[in-house]
Structure 1
Amino acid sequence: MISTDTLLDFFIETREQTELICEPLEIEDFVVQPIIDVSPPKWHLGHTTWFFEEFILKEFDKSYNVFNDDFSFVFNSYYETVGKRVIRADRGNLSRPSVKKVYDYRHYVTNAMSNLLNLNQNKELRQILEIGIHHEKQHQELLLTDIKYILGNNPLLPKYSDLFKEYRLDYKEPKWISLNEGIYEIGHNSTDFSFDNELGRHKVYLHNYAISNNLVTNAEYLEFIKSDGYKRFDIWHAQGWDWVQQNNIIAPLYWHQIDGVWYNYSLNGLTEIDLAAPVTHISYYEAFAYAQYKGCRLPTEFEWEAVQERFNWGQRWEWTESAYLPYPNYKKADGALGEYNGKFMVNQKVLRGCSVATPTKHARHTYRNFFQTDLRWQYTGIRLAK
């Protein structure tokens, strides 16, 4: 547990970074919600503020006056324990409260939090504060990917900013890295922050396996497309094949073929595909099919973590073959914060690593992200194993 003074600085830094992400936006961008999985930027600004108001200020500051009684209903995400909320699909209908009012709300809560932290040294408060800070960092990543989806589905494909670079990663001479069969320890094992789904460090037995030192590139994935990878039912799960057929999927998200040339939309605008860059915005279905096409497979999350302790990997969220399940001795927290991870441990695949949108001081090799198998608006990529 870091000190209260350091946590206060961390809190302020995190709050400022969220607003910095929103600076390039036009006012009209703040309320758009193209699909249910994407939340409007204004909602992210409000929800990350509500978290501190609901779980810290209302609990630990008896003199605190709630900013607006309606905001818990508007900005609660999925916490059944807390009460009623706007359904997720309706977040884009919130033309009110105004963007200005939401920023007023943020500053009101940030100031109240700063005052409280200057007075209160309560250990429980510090623990919840640290969760809240990392919760906001999670939303910073979601905010960037949601902004990309909003602008990437605008017919004009507008540029977000030149400051955010979806950079090319260092590509190494391709090779397979082998690990011998044996017992490996998995899970978080330090006093640094982690989410509860990383806890329950335990031993797993792994058979001999090999894992690629590189992520699959755009050039390699383009070969898959040109080899009719999206037309070969034999390399897809049945559910994945249905998804391809029903949604007419022919390429990764944000790929556009114009006059026979493949382009990619990024937050810097529309450009020709960088063939050497890692392919991204891939569903689990696509990652699995590509691995089948190459005569390989996806690594389990345990295989990924056992290697990651030796190498600094994970610059795209990487699909694994592991279902999102609790570790041994996992126990949900009491109350509303117990809804944070455990309730989602069904019908989802684990992703490991981080992404170009992951904020600083948030990534670690035991981090377990998770999404449904058809989703691809995050910066998801492919690493092969065999």
Structure 2
Amino acid sequence: MGKMSIQQKLAILSDAAKYDASCASSGGSKRSSRDGSGLGSTTGSGICHAYTPDGRCISLLKILMTNVCVFDCAYCVNRRSSNVRRARFTVEEVVWLTEEFYRRNYIEGLFLSSGIIRSPDYTMEQLVLIVEKLRANGFRGYVHLKTIPDASPDLIERAGLAADRLSINIELPTDAGLNDLAPEKDAASIRKAMGNVRATKEDYSDRTHTGRRRGKFASAGQSTQMIVGADDGTDRQVLGNANRLYGAYDLKRVYYSAFSPIPDASAVLPLKDPPLMREHRLYQADWLLRFYEFSLDEILSDQAGMLDLDIDPKLAWALSNRDRFPVDVNSAPKEALLRVPGFGTRIVDRILKARRNGSLSLEDLRRMGARLKNARPFIVARAHRPGPMLEGAALRDRFVKPQQMELFA
């Protein structure tokens, strides 16, 4: 690889890390600088932004320890046969970079991953050493560590004791897809490793005979990522797999990453990008499954098993189930209100609280933050009934706006 400066390594290894979508800090505790200066620079190589559940935007140093890899996964830009410029940080260099960025208030944490070098255990030990050295030096920032499925349980345990979140990528939505595109990896081994993380976390959460917990292990939980569009997996398969992963391994998040064409791509890969809107729709559907009490069959009634790219899945369901509407915002139960397009979970909670004090109008809903453009045809409120809007054949067409990215609602 030749002699490189740390700045050159940073440029290469931060760029290589951009293909990993699971850069988030959900579940991390809030930390602020002691001098009260707040967040600093929001630019620079390797800095990504993530959002916590309470809406805070935080900055993370997102890098690979190395983009050298012994595996040859067809969909990965860092695969063994890829013709890309290689680089590798030492343990000390990652520690120094993280501490320098943190001291200067550029970041609030670290997102660290790596290609596999020598062996899974060797690579995992290097990653764990980085985080352990940071903690020993007093680093209190958030750490999201990508773990390697075939690494020993002892190393995974050390990783969870040092990092806030662990993640093990399931890679592709189907076992068949993984066998075709990454034959050196094994889906069963990946799931086993995820199960071990869950079991270890639960073990550390149990109280001892003195009533104390053993300690904190991956306090922000674990997550995973699926690449969408590299194989022929349908949206039903993607979301079905995600549903099983949430239930079996108590995941905090499943991230969906639209496959991006890579240099010197294998002939088995698609020639075109999958629509980014597909990735967006999958996130919306994932939200409905987790927070809106929808079932997979309700979201994906299409026989082809694909989401409608033109409208969000909640609106698509409402249009296909017009007999369930209109919903009276002043009397409907929470379950019915959650099904209304344009109503998020917070809006529904506000409605339930506010209507105790009197009947709600459209203006009341607007002040609460409801998206009335979507909700109006599906609700009854004080001085409002949808009338012919709900029955009109052109109702779907009024919502179709290509290239527009709707927010979750």
Fold agreement, TM-score > 0.5:
no
TM-score by length of 2: 0.23
Highest Rg: 1 or 2? 2
TM-score by length of 1: 0.24
